[in-house]
Amino acid sequence: MTVVCVPDSNARELLGALPDGVEVIAWNGEDEKPDRLAETVFWVPQVEDSTNLEGKFRAMPKLEVTQLTSAGTEDILDHVPDGVTLCTARGVHGSAVAELVMTVILATLRQLPHFIEAQRQGRWDPVEADDLRDKRVLIIGAGDLGEQTARRLRSFDATPVLVAHTARDGIHATSELPKLLPEADVVVLTVPLTPDTTGLVDADFLARMPDGALLVNVARGKVVDTEALLAELTSGRLRAALDVMEPEPLPAGHPLWTAPNLIITPHAAGSIAKAGPRAFALVNAQVRRYLAGEELVNVAKSGH
């Protein structure tokens, strides 16, 4: 019997039917362990699980595959034991997050925050807005999310410019940022959090962006120097839209709450009704690949 462990009963339902010979158990890390937990070979953690990972891995000594339902690996990668393959949900949430990127860019350019506030106050207050046509949008992070965002931007007649750690056909290297940033109307961050990207957007990075430019962060909060960004927002020189920030959750009274020229969403880019079903459709397919001895997709760390 092949034992698959998911975090809760809702996940077990979303996982759907699997071939005969598979037993699905639910465990979210509590002290009371289900029967046959120690026999688990395929584990699906809670979303962005970072609690007592060493203990959870010890409880599953026969584990061979850990399948995430999110794309980021920074919370778990260093804890995965040798011999265990780690897979991500790359491609599952890209469309939803890219939609939020488009939403906040358009909302900012079309002055939606101004009009919403005027409506709240009962004021008829027309102002001149802007559009996406001919805008140059720098997308730092050329994975699935970057590509999904670029495709949507082209449909609005904008010009996406993709940037990755290493240059390849049609994609610039991060080493080229000093010359790319001054030409960007919008900068979108879609990079994973790594030692190279932590603090990437610092005071020097922001200073290279032109007056009135917009920074959109749907990557991780630690990619951006919060104090440096606050200084640019407060001066009125730059605008921003943050779905992720540092610290997070953003505490009451934090200056970001009242910073001008800023749209905040609470790490909600992937929070859509179909997120769970889409993620567990991938999990189901991965379990079937595992059972058939086929190559898994979205491998972030090989156990072989």
Which tens digits make up the pLDDT trace of 245-298?
A: 999 999 999 999 999 999 999 999 999 999 999 999 999 999 999 999 999 999
Kindly tell me if the per-residue pLDDT of 22 is higher than 80. yes
Kindly tell me if the per-residue pLDDT of 304 is higher than 80. no
Q: Are residues 125 and 239 in the same domain?
A: yes
Kindly tell me if the per-residue pLDDT of 49 is higher than 90. no
Q: Are residues 86 and 105 in the same domain?
A: no
Using 50, 70 and 90 to split pLDDT, how confident is the model at 80?
A: very high
Q: Are residues 103 and 251 in the same domain?
A: yes
Check residue 38 and give its pLDDT: 96
Residue in 220, 232, 239, 278 annotated catalytic: 220
Kindly tell me if the per-residue pLDDT of 244 is higher than 80. yes
Using 50, 70 and 90 to split pLDDT, how confident is the model at 74?
A: confident
Q: Are residues 65 and 137 in the same domain?
A: no
Is residue 248 flagged as an active site residue? yes
Q: Are residues 52 and 165 in the same domain?
A: no
Q: Are residues 98 and 88 in the same domain?
A: no
Kindly tell me if the per-residue pLDDT of 99 is higher than 90. yes
Q: Are residues 42 and 148 in the same domain?
A: no
Domain count for the chain: 2
- CATH at 148: 3.40.50.720
Q: Are residues 277 and 182 in the same domain?
A: no
Q: Are residues 258 and 278 in the same domain?
A: no
Kindly tell me if the per-residue pLDDT of 48 is higher than 80. no
Q: Are residues 196 and 54 in the same domain?
A: no
Is residue 304 flagged as an active site residue? no
pTM of the model: 0.91
Preceding omega of 249 cis (within 30 degrees of 0) = yes
| Structural domain for 87, as ranges | 2-92+273-301
DSSP-assigned beta bridge partners for residue 2: 22
Task: Tell me the average pLDDT of the chain.
Answer: 95
Using 50, 70 and 90 to split pLDDT, how confident is the model at 71?
A: confident
Q: Are residues 285 and 242 in the same domain?
A: no
Q: Are residues 98 and 74 in the same domain?
A: no
Residue in 152, 172, 267, 278 annotated catalytic: 267
